Structure 1
């Protein structure tokens, strides 16, 4: 948390450039087109496979394990990290080879609603994108090694390089005559998109290799990765794999349902989810990244009051920003989507649908962030079983409600219903996680949390209603096209943000004052 401002800045730049990447791809490939759907499914496939085989373990197990290893004077922590990295490289190289061969089967699993031409194009993209699994694994391991050494900022800047490479690729695609029409895609354009996208992830990995060397860690593959407690890591990660499998089941179901909801529905849902993740990543992920090493040290010393204090502060500080942002997404979702996505080859109808999905996701923002922050407490104690069981239950709720929604909501509106289903599942996960965590560590500072969140909710509700009135008043005057939507977003957001700030001070929301002081002084 001592480097909280620098971390937030790096995350913000990373996520903003990432969103610029999304906007550039939308403008180049066309929101609502079959080409962007094929590219989107192919591009998320390596991410989902990486998460399935290793991502969850790296996120929940490796950082606490590296911290405990560094505290052991009898262990060479650099040799341990090198052997761990070697194991990751060897395992993921095998996964890449197998999945490249199985690419057609993967595409049938993820997008059964694709046309034959879409399927062929998506398979080509997927085979070029699958080496990203190895790049992601190495990058995540290096980021964990840096975090264990209290180097939090460098890993957050690395994705910026990835984003810049992909943005350049999309711009070159437009310059050489690329369009959003799948039938006009040439072999050269396909190779440009395929190689350029994977090159971005490779550059991200190289940036982290350089950052590791500057932190004193030498990237060196060991022929024999034994000696790091592989069996112990496997036991710890085993439960995490269960939760990741459940999450991937959610991904498969949602992607397949979206592929059947109409042309462009997959990319509509994906882009709305990306925008929903932006405030979570800038605020909550920054806090999670900074707090996890501290929680791990407190947990190792069985200092439950300190763990509770860190958890309470994390939840309150993140909600101070996320509660009004969630209100803004609910009120301004359609206008935001028009401003951001209605460019180039994008369909105006697809942009409006994206806004409706985004508004539904606004309901999920605060429960999702709180749920994710609380899960980290279990990881700090080295407990992967409990969060795995909870997240599996959340995934089951998501799948069940989405399948019901698919029967009740036909056509493109299904993607809106899916976003609502995920909000319900995250809210359920938040309540269950809080109850289980209270039994584990005792009091959760519940009265203070409830009081702070009640005050935030009142201030955000008044601000949101003000923004909604502003939207209704302006729409008839400025219209709903790009220019009118931009004016509406600026004025409504300014009115809502100003009123929230006044309400926060009037209601004496202490966290708001603490957060503004942190921003002014640069200390957390």
Structure 2
């Protein structure tokens, strides 16, 4: 029997330092993203407040987000990064590039096919009793279907961008992916400022498409830096791609149930609660998510590629140390942040958003 080699103090310290440094980069990037996100929310609040058209946008956004989450969001990152990292460490860059290309091509085809079907049946998905807007007026239902079709375009772009994010994380590069969410917010801000005066809420939807394009574009230099090459092959018989699919499957089911309960059910019930309720829920959820995004997501993004590399090395002891340290850091930072948000919620909402179309009633709703 072989004795398992445990990391010495210097190795453990080096690992902790690397995770902490990566987390700091991600946290700074996410802090910038949160700042841009708050500016985005303020611009939207001033222009649309808690109006019926923002209810329509909120409802329409749920299905594209559900599609992205299932096929190209957390489920894919969970499955892709460990296999891709293992190929980088134990095989060759060519093998890793081949898997990257196969995942990009497969996910894009799945999103394209699913998005096309969803676009065709958008009116039914809105108006059916089990749909996302059964209690909206006819005009709002038509608007919701139109917005959904536009936002499905951004989902296809995000699918590619998220795979590139995973590849860059596997290479222990976090700066460009950390900046990408700010670019998404910038696109929406431009849509709200430049397009919405002429197109109304539709301008906001096209801003989201622009933001998705910017989210992808800012990460493209990482392709050249790390020599990540794309080719058009599908490789559906490749064992590495099949392992990604096997790892994805249970996570897809888990995320489907979680996101459906958040987005679909909220939209279905919220459409009958009166004007502004869905929009208010959107503002509240995004504010509530701020501490988690800044703290939990930053540390999780930073530690996961390291955990994947340690798994490839079968270093269980180091994995436990990295996970334990990360959980302690999350608890130490997130609990005080949550308490502050609870205590200062209403004054914070009024300070951030109460202007223009966002009235005192909107503050109370949120």
| TM-score normalised by length of structure 1 | 0.62
Aligned counterparts of 2:102 and 2:195: Cα–Cα separation in 1: 40
The match for 2:254 is 243
1:231 aligns with 2:253: no
Corresponding residue for 1:51?
69
Alignment CA distance shift 1:213-1:44 (3 Å)? farther
Identify which of 44, 65, 74 aligns with 1:25: 44
Match of 1:111 in 2: 133
* DSSP-derived class of the 1:76 partner: helix
Kept after mapping to 2: 8 A contact 1:125/1:194? yes
Residue-by-residue CA offset, 1:381-431 (whole Å, 9 max, x unaligned) = xxxxxxxxxxxxxxxxxxxxxxxxxxxxxxxxxxxxxxxxxxxxxxxxxxx
* Paired position in structure 1 for 2:276: 264
39-48 vs 271-280, which deviates more? 39-48
Which of 124, 127, 144 is the matching residue for 2:146?
A: 124
Q: How does 1:500-519 map to 2 (within 5 A)?
A: none
Shift of 1:191: 4.8
Residue by residue, what CA displacement relative to the aligned partner does 1:106-142 show, whole Å, maximum 9, x if unpaired? 2231222212111111111111111122111101100
Aligned equivalent of 2:115: 96
Q: Is the 8 A contact 2:25 2:175 kept in 1?
A: yes
Match for residue 101 of structure 2 among 48, 65, 82? 82
The residue correspondences of 1:299-338 to structure 2 (distance < 5 A) are 299-338=311-350
Q: Which residue of 1 aligns with 2:294?
A: 282
CA 1:22–1:72: 2 relative to 1, 3 Å: same
TM-score if structure 2 supplies the norm length? 0.87
* Counterpart in the other structure of 2:29: 10
Tell me the secondary structure at the aligned position of residue 113 of structure 1: coil
**How far off is 1:314 after superposition?**
0.9
Q: Contact 1:28–1:173 (CA<8 Å) still a contact in 2?
A: no
Distance 1:52 1:117 in 2: 30
2:58 to 36, 40, 62: 40
Of the two, which has the highest radius of gyration?
1
Summarize the Cα distance change of 1:284–1:223 in structure 2 as closer, same or farther, 3 Å threshold.
closer
Deviation at 1:228, TM superposition (A): 5.1
Report the counterpart of residue 387 of structure 1 in structure 2: none
Work out the CA distance in 2 between the residues paired with 1:72 and 1:116.
Answer: 58
Determine if the alignment matches structure 1 residue 156 to structure 2 residue 178.
yes
Distance 2:232 2:39 in 1: 35
> Is 2:77 the counterpart of 1:65?
no
Change (3 A) 1:260 1:135: same
Assess if the C-alpha contact under 8 Å between 2:26 and 2:178 holds in 1.
yes
Partner of 2:226: 215
CA distance in 2 between partners of 1:21 and 1:226 (Å): 44
Q: Deviations over 1:343-394 (max 9, x none)?
A: 110131221231xxxxxxxxxxxxxxxxxxxxxxxxxxxxxxxxxxxxxxxx
How far has the Cα of 1:224 moved from its partner? 5.1
For residues 314 and 222 of structure 2, what CA distance do their matches in structure 1 show? 33
Give the whole-Å Cα distance in 2 for the aligned partners of 1:149 and 1:5. Answer: 17
Deviations 1:86-107 (A, max 9, x none): 2222222212211111111222
The answer to whether structure 1 residue 195 and structure 2 residue 206 are counterparts is yes
**How many residue pairs are counted as aligned between the two chains?**
342
Whose RCO is larger (CA < 8 A, sep 6+)?
2
Q: Match of 2:227, SS? A: coil
8 Å CA contact 1:100–1:130 kept in 2: the answer is yes
Q: Which runs of 5+ in 2 are unaligned?
A: 1-18
Distance in 2 (CA, whole Å) between partners of 1:316 and 1:121 is 46
Following superposition, the deviation at residue 151 of structure 1 comes to: 0.8
Question: For the structure 1 residues 249 and 193, does the alpha-carbon distance in structure 2 shift closer, same or farther, using more than 3 Å as the test?
Answer: closer
Preserved contact between residue 162 and residue 203 of structure 1 (Cα < 8 Å): yes
- The SS at the match of 2:218 is helix
Aligned counterpart, 2:156: 134
